[in-house]
Structure 1
């Protein structure tokens, strides 16, 4: 029988976090889902993961390709091996609570083909911010702002335009298979049009742009079904240490064809503030939706790159001068200062949140905190809290969990 949900986990050389996540998922009592692990590791398999495979749990579907793959190729195989009606793509250091299955049942009953939710964040014990210790890096902590449990129907194209107007530097509430739930049929539509589930250099942004054009019924849930993890060897971990930037050509995760078709408007440089915008650009081109490029605010990309990547500032100015004969440095720097001022509010909010958690004053800023040495332990606590909070709750999420909900028109 076809599973209701495929939880897809592409991975490479990170068995420690992978084992923790898969163990948690296989502890769920349901038989209505599968866990698809697509492994491109070139190291000897971790003994704990071998034990998981020896359990012969038919919900765990393990695939291994030894030859080196780009991140896109590994993700492509992972989605291709998923058999469920719906797909949720996780990183191997992320998390998912078991109540997700009830939400996916609601999606199927009401022909909802895409759902995005507010995320929680978990910082693994080995995660560090640059020049900070474990406590200041929130290592071993899961946190999320109190959420309402409301559900809202959204227009996928409107959400896409919104992120383009922000320079494609955020994902916001756009449809997404990475850290979201999407009907497998929608993913197949994207592949039929572009030749790939991920038509660009990175899987998250590229699939979301594609899905925005094929998804019909898209919803946003104001509750953290999904926990975004950050461990030392992940992209988030590299970002925390200030290592998530450098020469694109040296990034083995990017397919060669993505480099060859790199957009002239985006600096050929690996950084958080270039890779998502470039992913959006390449996806629009492969979808033959170039008319949407007019919504892309490239200036926000340049301002963010200038402010966040100090080592690249000189080369960015050279890039802008070469691309635009009318480029005026004084105007650019003035606008960059305005952009920085606009971002101070978020910086202050983040500062207050982090320090309230450190000082254990988080309840005063409406933040829930779970402390655990593993994401498995944190997820079990979050599942129990979810059950307690919504068992008698009349929000849409509470009604879904009690099987009393109908779709919102």
Structure 2
């Protein structure tokens, strides 16, 4: 018998010590989403001290916010899994505690339900919170900048092939989501997440929940869809991964990171530099997912090593030994690495050109306060749902 869910949508927000962004995000959701559909917000809190949040919830007094607290410090993957177990929605979306939700999301989920679509991805917006500090600013990268994709004339739901997208991502070193199915900033039918758990005993097998779900869904889902609409907005605040990236400080020693599951540190891929950096996070998690589901597909590590040399040259002394180890004694492997290195150099040139000549496919709104993000979205994206 199919389970009867109380809500059409559950929005899960795992959080830890970031109330300065979490509370405004909660305000933006409950103050802007329609009451025509049942939805819930699951706040899974692992903060050291939750008094500020408890006071907020008491004042807000909104039954749609369901709050769960665990004082014992746990890895982010475990906190995310707890959030899922506390949901009662037919569809789920996973966002961060500095991200935003489009006011039209419930209407879009209703369309998914009517069309029996089990997973949806889309073109999200991006917002740099006022607290973000950039090591080097440009037209796009400034605090309080909001990026939105171009407004479509009508909604288009495009069917995607998960195996094709998985192979394409693996061939590029799995350093980005690309067009993989997603749960983080993607909408997924709850039953699809339960399929993952039924196969491996848990929802998340790897280090980083966002790319873990993308890879796991691509391996296990039959089909999914893309829509040309910003259903949510990636946020980057001072103490988030995006904020660390802005300062060029998104790296660390694997053995000194408390948010990793212990078994991850003990089973780190020996061909991936033992550094937690912007480039290694996703490939390492990808290798864990492939192993967890016993999938015989290869990750292009030459692409990863080349990207690290080009985009993270300050880590070069730690990378070279992995390049030699991966290439071995086969001269052909060094040729393949050289080709990948040239491709990354060309990619950097193209990326720099787009930044310098303002060619990215987004509209940039400057000096947007976090309280104005949804207002700007509403004013520039008339509802077409």
* TM-score > 0.5, shorter chain as reference: yes
User: Are 2:340 and 1:345 equivalent residues in the alignment?
Assistant: no
Choose which of 193, 197, 209 in structure 2 pairs with 1:187.
Answer: 193
User: Are 2:260 and 1:254 equivalent residues in the alignment?
Assistant: yes
**Separation in 2 of the partners of 1:275 and 1:286?**
17
> Which residue is 1:361 aligned to?
none
User: Are 2:150 and 1:150 equivalent residues in the alignment?
Assistant: no
**Separation in 2 of the partners of 1:250 and 1:337?**
33
User: Once structures 1 and 2 are overlaid, which stretch shifts more, 33-42 or 312-321?
Assistant: 312-321
Q: Structure 2 regions of 5+ residues with no counterpart? A: none
> Which residue is 1:379 aligned to?
374
Choose which of 167, 172, 175 in structure 2 pairs with 1:169.
Answer: 175
Deviation at 1:66, TM superposition (A): 0.2
User: Once structures 1 and 2 are overlaid, which stretch shifts more, 243-252 or 63-72?
Assistant: 243-252
SS of 1:82's partner is coil
> Which residue is 1:8 aligned to?
12
Change (3 A) 1:324 1:104: same
Choose which of 94, 116, 119 in structure 1 pairs with 2:99.
Answer: 94
Change (3 A) 1:8 1:333: same
Change (3 A) 1:334 1:187: closer
> Which residue is 1:82 aligned to?
87
SS of 2:130's partner is coil
Deviation at 1:195, TM superposition (A): 1.9
CA-to-partner distance for each residue in 1:293-340, whole Å, 9 max, x for gaps? Answer: 2xx211110001112222321221122324443266985567524421
Deviation at 1:348, TM superposition (A): 1.4
Deviation at 1:45, TM superposition (A): 2.9
Change (3 A) 1:255 1:173: same
Contact 2:144–2:368 under 8 Å retained in 1: yes
Deviation at 1:6, TM superposition (A): 0.5
**Separation in 2 of the partners of 1:374 and 1:77?**
32
Contact 2:49–2:71 under 8 Å retained in 1: no
Change (3 A) 1:385 1:323: closer
Contact 1:144–1:367 under 8 Å retained in 2: yes
Aligned length: 375
Change (3 A) 1:338 1:219: closer
Runs of 4 or more above 6 Å deviation: 327-330
CA-to-partner distance for each residue in 1:235-281, whole Å, 9 max, x for gaps? Answer: 01001111111211111111111122222221221111111011111
Deviation at 1:380, TM superposition (A): 2.6
User: Are 2:314 and 1:308 equivalent residues in the alignment?
Assistant: no
> Which residue is 1:406 aligned to?
none
Deviation at 1:147, TM superposition (A): 4.1
Deviation at 1:212, TM superposition (A): 1.4
Change (3 A) 1:339 1:99: same
Contact 2:272–2:322 under 8 Å retained in 1: no
SS of 2:244's partner is helix
C-alpha RMSD of the superposition: 2.2
Deviation at 1:287, TM superposition (A): 1.0
**Separation in 1 of the partners of 2:306 and 2:84?**
35
1:30-109 matched pairs, under 5 angstroms: 30=35, 31-46=37-52, 50-109=55-114
Deviation at 1:386, TM superposition (A): 2.2
Q: Structure 1 regions of 5+ residues with no counterpart? A: 357-364, 391-397, 402-409
**Separation in 2 of the partners of 1:335 and 1:297?**
10
Deviation at 1:371, TM superposition (A): 4.2
Change (3 A) 1:336 1:23: same
Deviation at 1:214, TM superposition (A): 2.8
Q: TM-score, normalised by structure 2?
A: 0.91
Deviation at 1:71, TM superposition (A): 0.9
Contact 1:17–1:92 under 8 Å retained in 2: yes
**Separation in 1 of the partners of 2:367 and 2:25?**
14
Deviation at 1:347, TM superposition (A): 2.5
> Which residue is 1:360 aligned to?
none
Deviation at 1:137, TM superposition (A): 3.5
> Which residue is 1:120 aligned to?
125
Q: TM-score, normalised by structure 1?
A: 0.86
